[in-house]
């Protein structure tokens, strides 16, 4: 990929140009995203009221976000009265400190984890490792990523960039208990992971989770999953710590009904996910701590255009239809949130001071496929365009846009500029010079006509042609 946008900051195009050279990666991504998107389209088409459900999901999320202060307090009261303890974390460092302190208080040195984007966002595993605490991922795809010393590249399928023979190699290398004749058959790989994880589930006294939803009226947390590994973590250990972004709230159980239809169909392409775990406060024999995580979310909430990103339910449907994601994969985005949602969420959560984060709003063709499939109707292209206007641009580009704005704002100035361009058309280069040459590497400069539309019209326009 060349730098196709004038002034586009550097890192995403650099990452993407490396990623597209990897034909195995492109093959794996294409196969996986097309399979999931086909399944999604099938189950969504079954529901005649899908658009109404989508509108309801959007309305519920918007209402909750507008009243977040009230619902957060309601959530805290409900969890506390059900025997749980609520902690508030302003940022990643505070959340990590709280979780590490809670684990240390148990005297344990290892924890099992339910798949959680929020804990990846704050770098919890690394922070715990610094305190001498080992965190073991138990979601199969997260386990593959962790054992491979790799990074997740998809929200739902973090190891989407790996095929089964690569997974077999990782298991043989990192799991001492697997037999040497392990095949790359999915059931054989799953059985190897099952045996590896079973021992951890039975041994661990502390578990860490996120949550897909929190129901404010009862203080209930909800985790949707496909494997049942999450449920093992949620039920077996003596201490459960859940780190959840404050935007995951829903006011009531009735609202949950909408999202339990929207999420499985949009994510795995299933009518219903195999395991839905719900718990309220501390259950018998288990300590429960809820860490409510801000980490930039209240800043996002303050932005009139960008706040819609907080409606996201992390289904990953936008990744599976994105032509950019399909070709470059998740690592190019340099964030736990890849694809279209990552391109609007990461720069808002982290700011755009780094070259990578400033380049993310440009990692899109603005085709709009992400908006069409989003179950909570996030207008991702709208947020991308808004963020592009806020991203830092080179001084030369800013000056050029200022001049263009000055000319286009006045019809007399525009007419003069057009006449001047017509007179000079023979002198204009076919390629732009300097850094702007990236623009003409992949496209021709438009030809300037020998007469502007305006002049042709003044000469009589259509009558003259007749
Ligand atoms: S932006 Fe929409 S489509 Fe993308 S992950 Fe979030 S909810 Fe799903």
Q: List domains and CATH numbers for the chain.
A: 15-42+315-387 (no CATH), 60-295 (3.40.50.10420), 395-465 (no CATH)
The predicted pLDDT at position 251 comes to 98
The predicted pLDDT at position 439 comes to 79
What's the mean pLDDT in 19-34? Answer: 91
CA of 33 to the centre of ligand 1 (A): 14
**Displacement of CA 249 from its chain's centroid (Å):** 18
pLDDT band at 315 (very low <50, low <70, confident <90, very high): very high
Ligand 1 pocket test target in 224, 318, 346 with most atoms within 8 Å of CB: 318
Instruction: Name the closest-CA residue to atom 7, ligand 1.
Output: 312
The predicted pLDDT at position 461 comes to 81
Identify the residues whose C-beta falls under 6 Å from ligand 1.
266, 312-318, 341, 373-376, 378
What's the mean pLDDT in 433-457? Answer: 84
For the range 119-126, what are the long-range contacts, defined as Cβ-Cβ under 8 Å and sequence gap of 24 or more? 119/208, 119/210, 119/243, 120/152, 120/336, 121/92, 121/245, 121/295, 121/336, 121/337, 121/349, 122/92, 122/95, 122/96, 122/243, 122/293, 122/295, 123/92, 123/96, 124/95, 124/96, 124/99, 124/208, 124/243
CA of 317 to the centre of ligand 1 (A): 6
The predicted pLDDT at position 7 comes to 47
Instruction: Name the closest-CA residue to atom 3, ligand 1.
Output: 374
What's the mean pLDDT in 403-414? Answer: 95
CA of 451 to the centre of ligand 1 (A): 48
CA of 371 to the centre of ligand 1 (A): 8
What's the mean pLDDT in 120-149? Answer: 96
Atom of ligand 1 nearest to the CA of 339: 4
The β-bridge relationship of strands 275-280 and 220-225 is antiparallel
The predicted pLDDT at position 2 comes to 36
The predicted pLDDT at position 303 comes to 97
pTM for this prediction? 0.89
Atom of ligand 1 nearest to the CA of 370: 3
**Across 202-211, 239-248, 383-392, 450-459, least confident range:** 450-459
Q: What tens digit of pLDDT does each residue of 283-296 get?
A: 888 999 999 999 99
Is residue 3 scored above 60 in pLDDT? Answer: no
Is residue 9 scored above 80 in pLDDT? Answer: no
The predicted pLDDT at position 450 comes to 87
CA of 222 to the centre of ligand 1 (A): 18
Atom of ligand 1 nearest to the CA of 344: 1
Instruction: Name the closest-CA residue to atom 4, ligand 1.
Output: 318
**Across 159-168, 400-409, 433-442, least confident range:** 433-442
Is residue 181 scored above 60 in pLDDT? Answer: yes
Instruction: Count Cα atoms within 13 angstroms, Cβ side, for 142.
Output: 22
CA of 234 to the centre of ligand 1 (A): 25
Query: Crossing angle, helix 411-423 and helix 395-408, to 10 degrees?
Result: 110
Taking CA 248 as the corner, what is the angle to CA 105 and CA 292, rounded to the nearest 5 degrees?
Answer: 30
């Amino acid at each position: 990929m060349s730098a196709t946008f004038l002034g586009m900051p550097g890192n995403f195009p650099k990452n993407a140009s490396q990623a597209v050279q990897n034909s195995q990666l492109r093959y794996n991504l294409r196969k996986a995203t097309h399979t999931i998107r086909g399944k999604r389209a099938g189950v969504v088409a079954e529901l005649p009221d899908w658009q109404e459900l989508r509108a309801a999901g959007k309305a519920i999320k918007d209402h909750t976000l507008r009243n977040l202060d009230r619902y957060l307090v309601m959530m805290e009261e409900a969890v506390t009265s059900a025997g749980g303890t609520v902690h508030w974390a302003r940022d990643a460092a505070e959340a990590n400190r709280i979780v590490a302190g809670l684990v240390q208080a148990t005297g344990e040195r290892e924890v099992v984890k339910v798949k959680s984007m929020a804990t990846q966002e704050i770098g919890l595993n690394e922070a715990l490792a610094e305190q001498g605490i080992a965190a073991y991922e138990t979601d199969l795809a997260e386990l593959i990523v962790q054992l491979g010393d790799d990074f997740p590249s998809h929200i739902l399928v973090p190891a989407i960039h790996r095929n089964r023979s690569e997974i077999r190699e990782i298991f043989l290398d990192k799991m001492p208990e697997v037999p040497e004749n392990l095949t790359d058959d999915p059931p054989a790989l799953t059985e190897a992971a099952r045996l590896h994880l079973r021992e951890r589930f039975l041994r661990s006294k502390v578990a860490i989770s996120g949550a897909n939803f929190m129901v404010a009226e009862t203080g209930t947390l909800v985790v949707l999953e496909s494997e049942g590994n999450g449920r093992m973590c949620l039920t077996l250990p003596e201490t459960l710590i859940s780190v959840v972004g404050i935007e995951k709230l829903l006011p009531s159980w009735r609202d949950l009904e909408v999202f339990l239809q929207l999420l499985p169909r949009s994510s795995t392409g299933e009518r219903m996910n195999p395991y839905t775990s719900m718990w309220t406060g501390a259950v018998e024999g288990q300590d429960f701590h809820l860490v409510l995580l801000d980490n930039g979310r209240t800043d996002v909430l303050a932005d009139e255009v960008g706040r819609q990103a907080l409606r996201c339910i992390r289904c990953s449907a936008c990744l599976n239809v994105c032509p950019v994601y399909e070709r470059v994969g998740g690592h190019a985005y340099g964030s736990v949130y890849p694809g279209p949602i990552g391109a609007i969420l990461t720069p808002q959560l982290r700011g755009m001071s780094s070259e990578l984060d400033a380049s993310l709003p440009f990692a899109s063709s603005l085709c709009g496929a992400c908006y069409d499939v989003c179950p909570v109707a996030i207008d991702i292209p709208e947020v991308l365009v808004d963020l592009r206007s806020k991203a830092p641009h080179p001084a030369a580009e800013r000056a050029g846009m200022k001049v263009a704005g000055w000319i286009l704002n006045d019809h007399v100035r525009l007419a003069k500029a057009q006449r001047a361009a017509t007179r000079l058309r023979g002198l204009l280069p076919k390629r732009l010079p300097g850094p702007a040459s990236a623009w003409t590497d992949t496209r021709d400069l438009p030809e300037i006509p020998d007469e502007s539309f305006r002049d042709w019209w003044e000469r009589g326009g259509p009558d003259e042609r007749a």
